[in-house]
Structure formats: structure tokens, C-alpha cells
């Protein structure tokens, strides 16, 4: 287990000054929320309205893992073992993606950071914090019911609920120090994601337009 992880960088590559300047020009918004909070739908809505670029960490990792590159194979192996992909790899992938779209007016980075070390390393590499961190809040019961409704798992109902709850509890345990970190910086914006999608989107718009 440790072999795969040790061969992937724990630290992101240093950025050249001109790369840092590019990363500082657009808005960078982190989007967080547990499984079933429906943040993907709201990200699509924000991309359409504000011409943002959506950077989905899960999709980036999956795409990289499917490629036949050496790094892709190592990422695949790490993910297969249920381990977190090292911070350095994730930061390099996000930086590369953002730098490939220098004309975008903003980036929604969905599912990042996944642990406090990633949040701190992002600021070390880029030279600044994100402009905003949006968190979609749902009750545990709502997210469990949504996950069951979406058919994300196939098992007996009681087993499904237990497995989903365990996943959510792990998510909250990892997120708690991240949320505290950004709360201290006054960057955290909590959006209650229990209402109708259009009402949730209206709240997203208010948060984004507060930056203008």
C-alpha cells in the first residue's frame, strides 16, 4: 500500500511567477458538500449563468486513472486501495487544468480540498486562499434518502442506509477541520440544500454576486 503512495508526490510542484499571476486573475471558488447534497447540479447552473469553468476533482482523478500514463496507473492503484490520492498530485492536476483555461472568469473547484493539508498546500503553491468556499448543507437523513433514490448502491435497504451513513460520517470527520480553517478566514458560505433546486440556486447567485 505504501509503495504506490510513496511514488506519487506529496507536495505540489512550484509554480512560476507568471503561472501564479494567471491563477490570481480569475475567481477561484471551492465547492464542498457530502454525497447527496446535489452540488453537481448547482455547479452546472453556476457554470451556465456566470461562464465559469467547472473543475470536478472526482472526474479529473477518474480521467487521469483511465489513461495509460505512469502517473495514471499509480493513481488508479491508490484509488483501488481506497486511499486518498496524495496532495501533490491533486494540486498539480488542478493547477494544470486551471492554467489550460486562462480566459475563464472563474473556476468552481468541486470536491477540493478533501483534507486540511490540501487546503494549506494550495495556499502555499498558489500564494493565496480561494476567493470563496461554498458548502452545501443537508441533513444526514436527506442525503441518505437521496443516495438511495439515485440508486448509488445496490443492497438491502437497511444495509444501504448503514453504508451511506458510514460514508457520510467519514466525510464530515475529514471536512470539519477544513470548514473551521476557512471559517477563520471568513471565506465560508453555507447554503442550506434542502429546498427546491431553483431556491438553492438563487442563494448561490447571491453568494457569487457578493464578490462583484
- How do strand 132-137 and strand 53-56 relate by DSSP bridges? unpaired
The answer on pLDDT for 164 being more than 60 is yes
Note the pLDDT of residue 73.
Answer: 86
Q: pLDDT band for position 10 (50/70/90)?
A: low
**pLDDT digit string, tens, across residues 35-86:** 778 898 999 999 999 999 999 988 888 888 888 788 888 888 888 887 878 8
Note the pLDDT of residue 2.
Answer: 38
Per the model's pLDDT, the better-predicted residue between 71 and 164 turns out to be: 71
**pLDDT digit string, tens, across residues 169-208:** 777 788 899 999 999 999 999 999 888 999 999 999 999 9
Note the pLDDT of residue 4.
Answer: 41
Q: pLDDT band for position 1 (50/70/90)?
A: very low
Alpha carbon 2 to chain centroid, angstroms: 24
Q: If residue 40 lies in a helix (H) or strand (E), which one and from where to where?
A: helix 39-50
Note the pLDDT of residue 5.
Answer: 41
Note the pLDDT of residue 14.
Answer: 73
Distances (CA, A) of 98 to 94, 112, 136: 6, 14, 23
What DSSP string runs through 171-191?
HHHHHHHHHHHHHHTT-EEEE
Alpha carbon 41 to chain centroid, angstroms: 14
Check: CB of residue 130 under 8 Å from CB of residue 29: yes
- How do strand 106-110 and strand 27-33 relate by DSSP bridges? parallel
* Mean pLDDT, range 87-111, rounded to an integer: 88
| Omega prior to 113 cis, within 30 of 0 | yes
Q: pLDDT band for position 12 (50/70/90)?
A: low
Kindly tell me the number of DSSP H helices and DSSP E strands found in the chain: 10, 5
Quote the pTM value.
0.82
Note the pLDDT of residue 11.
Answer: 64
Q: Where are the beta strands (DSSP E) in 65-164?
A: 106-110, 132-137
Q: What is the DSSP letter of 114?
A: S
Q: Which of 52, 55, 44 is nearest to 95 (CA)?
A: 55
Note the pLDDT of residue 112.
Answer: 92
**pLDDT digit string, tens, across residues 111-155:** 899 889 999 999 988 888 999 999 998 887 887 777 777 655 555
**Domains and their CATH numbers in the chain:** 2-209 (3.40.50.300)
- Cell triple for residue 106? 472563474
Taking residue 56's Cβ as centre, other Cβ atoms within 10 Å add up to 19
How far is Cα 99 from Cα 22, in angstroms, rounded to an integer? 7
Amino acid at each position: 500500500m505504501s509503495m504506490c503512495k510513496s511514488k506519487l508526490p506529496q507536495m505540489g510542484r512550484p509554480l512560476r511567477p507568471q503561472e501564479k499571476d494567471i491563477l490570481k486573475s480569475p475567481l477561484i471558488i471551492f465547492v464542498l458538500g457530502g454525497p447527496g447534497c446535489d452540488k453537481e447540479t448547482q455547479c452546472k447552473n453556476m457554470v451556465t449563468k456566470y461562464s465559469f469553468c467547472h473543475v470536478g476533482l472526482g472526474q479529473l482523478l477518474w480521467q487521469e486513472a483511465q489513461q495509460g500514463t505512469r502517473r495514471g496507473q499509480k493513481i488508479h492503484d491508490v484509488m483501488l486501495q481506497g486511499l486518498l490520492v496524495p496532495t501533490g498530485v491533486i494540486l498539480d492536476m488542478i493547477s494544470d487544468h486551471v492554467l489550460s483555461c486562462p480566459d475563464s472568469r472563474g473556476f468552481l473547484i468541486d470536491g477540493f480540498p478533501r483534507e486540511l493539508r490540501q487546503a494549506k498546500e494550495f495556499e502555499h503553491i498558489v500564494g493565496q486562499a480561494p476567493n470563496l468556499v461554498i458548502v452545501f448543507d443537508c441533513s444526514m437523513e436527506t442525503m441518505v434518502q437521496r443516495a438511495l433514490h439515485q440508486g448509488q448502491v445496490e443492497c438491502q435497504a437497511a444495509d444501504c442506509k448503514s453504508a451511506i451513513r458510514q460514508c457520510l460520517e467519514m466525510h464530515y470527520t475529514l471536512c470539519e477541520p477544513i470548514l473551521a480553517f476557512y471559517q477563520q478566514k471568513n471565506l465560508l458560505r453555507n447554503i442550506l440544500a434542502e429546498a427546491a433546486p431553483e431556491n438553492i440556486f438563487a442563494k448561490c447567485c447571491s453568494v457569487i454576486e457578493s464578490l462583484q
